[in-house]
Amino acid sequence: MRWRTFKGDSITLPIKTAVEQAIVRETKAGYKLKVCIGTDSQVHGAHTDFATVIVFLREKHGGFMFIHNERSHHPFSLKERMLTEVAMSIEIAYELCDLFTTYDVDMEVHADINTNPQFKSNEALREATGYILGMGFAFKAKPEAFASSCCADKVIN
């Protein structure tokens, strides 16, 4: 998996190492961190672009993020695409969760799924909620899910 910073710099280290270094650096600088992980996607004809972000929030001092982009040529139904976004976020959250426990960093998984039943994405909400909570992660959906609906949305290829 290739990751980059928001500025576009490639992260050459394994993502777990890069995240740990960021946590150590920010903690030493005196910041209390919270991490939000989210994925968003856009369909472009025959392919779908996904962006997964790891958003580091410095309490009262802004934040930064790491970004991974991926392209799929698989045709998705809307519900399948929403659940694929959630699975991508959970995959990285699971890989990193022991770091967050070790360094006492709060972490949330954000799903770009609307809580309003009038929106089509809502049909995936029950399954996504069960999946994320079943993995033991804190969970936010739209409109509170800024990591997926704002941050990841802005960095889709």
Sign of the CA dihedral running 76, 156, 51, 115: negative
- Cross-strand bridge partners of residue 139: 109
CATH code for the domain defined by 3-154: 3.30.420
Question: Distance between CA 99 and CA 118 in Å, rounded?
Answer: 38
Enter the tokens of residue 40: 């968003």
pLDDT (tens digit per residue) in 7-34: 999 999 999 999 999 999 999 999 999 9
Q: How confident is the model at residue 1 (pLDDT cuts 50, 70, 90)?
A: confident
Question: Distance between CA 128 and CA 45 in Å, rounded?
Answer: 25
Enter the tokens of residue 134: 């079943």
pLDDT (tens digit per residue) in 38-83: 999 999 999 999 999 999 999 999 999 999 999 999 999 988 999 9
Over residues 114-122, the mean pLDDT reads: 83
Amino acid at 145: A
Q: How confident is the model at residue 35 (pLDDT cuts 50, 70, 90)?
A: very high
